[in-house]
A and B are shown apart, each in its own frame.
Chain A
Amino acid sequence: MIDFDNVGLRYGMGPEVLRDLTFDVPRRSFQFLTGPSGAGKTTLMRLMFMSLQPTRGFVRVFGQDITTIPQQKLPKLRRRIGIVFQDFRLLDHLTTYENVALPLRVRGKEETSYRTDVIELLKWVGLGDRMNVLPPILSGGEKQRAAIARALIDQPEILLADEPTGNVDAPLARRLLRLFLELNKLGTAVIIATHDLSLMDQIDARRMILSGGRLEIYE
């Protein structure tokens, strides 16, 4: 679903932050992306989300070279990818329910057509009683789950989660991991960027370790 072929990326005239990356993200796969802080995990996630273009090499998402995709076609491709940001990026003037429903709203769907799905999903992530609450009132863990629910609501083919357990305690981190596994079982390819070793030790999954701009993969 995502193919990297000898990809390198540098900012301006600076050194390459990513070097010679060659890997793929197969359909229905589950992997962790890890490495020390500043190793380029977020940059790599942004490349996969088509928010950045490589300085060299090829990145193909859903079989299309991201450097040749016309700008108008990007939103439709991005809709097939769910993304969870480290800083949640929830809209403070919308309730939890409205934030989670946002991807469906921008697709022009009628509220009546998705209301039940959003409520079900919010219950599934444990936010059934926080639907009418605005993000500033939510705790870090609740915000995290709301952000995850927003990424999942349109059943993406790929889920990119950047440090999804960075703001939660260990029990909640385990719960979120179970949630990702369940999603993976339903057919979504999951990529979790984390430096939480204890989280990775909980399951036997593919590990992509980014260090010094290079990537090592342990299947």
Chain B
Amino acid sequence: MNDMSETEQEMSGSRRKIVLRPTAPIVPAGNIAGSSLMFVISIMSFLACLTLGAVIMVQDTASSWQSQISREITIQIKPEPGMDLEAELIKARDIALTFTGAMDATIVDTAATARLLEPWLGEGLDLDELPVPRLVIVTIDEATPPDFAGMRKALDESVQNVFLDDHRTWVDRLVAMANTTVIIGLCVLALVFMATILTVVFATRGALSGNHHIVEVLHFVGAEASFVASKFQRHFFLIALKGALAGGITAALTFAIASFWASHSLATPESDQATALFGGFSMGAGGYIGALAIVVITAVLTALTTRITVIRTIMEIDLVRSDPTLSI
């Protein structure tokens, strides 16, 4: 390639200098209307990064709930006439502590139980008058949880009216919810990528029809489809990279601003509501790496789509030419 700004040629028999301009690109950048495509890609990339961020946020929130719940189990004992409830509670606590993985066990005393029921039954509650179940809260080691089935069996054998709640139902529901959210998020991501591909296909076809004369000449001088494709591919890759970068950065900024707002509005009703729903508004390092991956994937996908579209278009040109019924 002619990468010198001035090329000097001295022809044999002539002292005249020939100055050539730097070689122009075969497909001029100005021939491809890229601004609207870049804008569309930036919107797509923004939506994709936002979806990814939302998925990560929900997953983090769900896993934090899950971890909080799975850190404790509850032993519930229903009172019965003639039953020594306090003795049963102590027995249940002692049995629970015999299992490996049970780190601590606390009997919720009558005062604490009354406080728990206060919102529903009011103050000054006498628990002796009501058959209110009493609780033993067992703190467990998350890494090596105890044998719940064994603990349940041991309690059933030794303690009356006992029920062990390992919160498995809640945990399972949360896991299912988190998984559903992730699947929905991935579906949205797939849709966004599909929309991007279709947009690029239309844009490439538009650009090709606008540069049909160039494609045709290249074709006639013996250019291979991959060579022609590479010329268009480069332009579209740069357009997509710029667009996706703009969308990705905007999405990251949106999360950063939301996170900043959340951290500066602590203990306000608005913040509490938002935090309860969305967690900490933080994507974390994984989220930012994911956003960067989306930018790269969008650009590569665009380049790939352009390549395939150009090659297919050239094949169609050849097909039209080789079929006299389609030729004009």
Chain A contacts with B in 80-130, Cβ cutoff 8 A: 83, 85, 89-91, 93-95, 97-98, 102-103, 105-108, 110-112, 115-116, 119-120, 123
Tell yes or no: A64 within 8 A of B by CB: no
Whether A91 pairs with B324 at a CB distance below 8 angstroms is: no
Residue of A nearest to B319 (CB): A71
Whether A75 pairs with B222 at a CB distance below 8 angstroms is: yes
Tell yes or no: B1 within 8 A of A by CB: yes
Whether B21 pairs with A95 at a CB distance below 8 angstroms is: yes
Whether A52 pairs with B321 at a CB distance below 8 angstroms is: yes
Task: Give Cα A149–Cα B19 distance, bound, in whole angstroms.
Answer: 19
Residue of B nearest to A122 (CB): B18
Task: Give Cα A168–Cα B32 distance, bound, in whole angstroms.
Answer: 35
* Stretch of B70-78, B212-220, B267-275 contacting A (4+ beta carbons < 8 Å): B212-220
Task: Give Cα A78–Cα B222 distance, bound, in whole angstroms.
Answer: 5
- By a CB distance below 8 angstroms, the chain A residues around B324 are 9-12, 52-55
Tell yes or no: A139 within 8 A of B by CB: no
Tell yes or no: A131 within 8 A of B by CB: yes
Tell yes or no: A74 within 8 A of B by CB: yes
Task: Identify A102's interface contact among B31, B217, B321, B327, CB under 8 A.
Answer: B217
Given contacts A53-B324, A115-B7, contact A132 B223 (CB under 8 A): no
- By a CB distance below 8 angstroms, the chain B residues around A123 are 11
Tell yes or no: B128 within 8 A of A by CB: no
Whether A75 pairs with B224 at a CB distance below 8 angstroms is: yes
- By a CB distance below 8 angstroms, the chain A residues around B315 are 71
- By a CB distance below 8 angstroms, the chain B residues around A110 are 1
- By a CB distance below 8 angstroms, the chain B residues around A102 are 26, 217-218, 221
| A125–chain B nearest beta-carbon distance, Å | 15
Whether B327 pairs with A11 at a CB distance below 8 angstroms is: yes
Tell yes or no: A150 within 8 A of B by CB: yes
The contact string, 1 if C-beta is below 8 Å from chain A, for chain B 24-51, is 1010100100000000000000000000
Whether B216 pairs with A89 at a CB distance below 8 angstroms is: yes
- By a CB distance below 8 angstroms, the chain A residues around B220 are 49, 78, 83, 85, 89
Tell yes or no: B2 within 8 A of A by CB: yes
Chain A contacts with B in 37-85, Cβ cutoff 8 A: 46, 49, 51-55, 71-72, 74-76, 78-79, 83, 85
Task: Identify B20's interface contact among A49, A54, A90, A131, CB under 8 A.
Answer: A131
The contact string, 1 if C-beta is below 8 Å from chain A, for chain B 1-19, is 1100001010100000011
Tell yes or no: B261 within 8 A of A by CB: no
Chain B contacts with A in 276-328, Cβ cutoff 8 A: 315, 318, 321-325, 327
- By a CB distance below 8 angstroms, the chain B residues around A106 are 218, 221-224, 227
- By a CB distance below 8 angstroms, the chain B residues around A90 are 217
- By a CB distance below 8 angstroms, the chain A residues around B318 are 71, 74
| A123–chain B nearest beta-carbon distance, Å | 7
Whether B223 pairs with A75 at a CB distance below 8 angstroms is: yes
Whether B217 pairs with A91 at a CB distance below 8 angstroms is: yes
Tell yes or no: B169 within 8 A of A by CB: no
Task: Give Cα A49–Cα B7 distance, bound, in whole angstroms.
Answer: 35
Given contacts A10-B324, A119-B18, contact A98 B221 (CB under 8 A): no
Whether A91 pairs with B214 at a CB distance below 8 angstroms is: yes
Task: Identify B327's interface contact among A13, A52, A105, CB under 8 A.
Answer: A52
Task: Identify B18's interface contact among A49, A53, A131, CB under 8 A.
Answer: A131
Whether B11 pairs with A97 at a CB distance below 8 angstroms is: no
- By a CB distance below 8 angstroms, the chain B residues around A112 are 2
Whether B214 pairs with A111 at a CB distance below 8 angstroms is: no
Given contacts A53-B322, A116-B9, A132-B20, contact A150 B221 (CB under 8 A): yes
- By a CB distance below 8 angstroms, the chain B residues around A13 are 325
| B227–chain A nearest beta-carbon distance, Å | 6
Whether A119 pairs with B221 at a CB distance below 8 angstroms is: no
The 8 closest A-B CB pairs, nearest first, are A79-B222, A106-B223, A103-B221, A111-B2, A78-B222, A53-B322, A12-B325, A75-B224
Can you name 6 A-B pairs with beta carbons within 8 Å?
Answer: A11-B325, A76-B222, A78-B221, A89-B216, A110-B1, A115-B2
Which residues on B are within 8 Å of A, measured CB to CB?
Answer: 1-2, 7, 9, 11, 18-21, 23-24, 26, 28, 31, 213-214, 216-225, 227, 315, 318, 321-325, 327
Given contacts A9-B324, A74-B318, 6 further A-B contacts (CB under 8 A): A52-B327, A71-B315, A72-B225, A89-B213, A105-B23, A106-B218
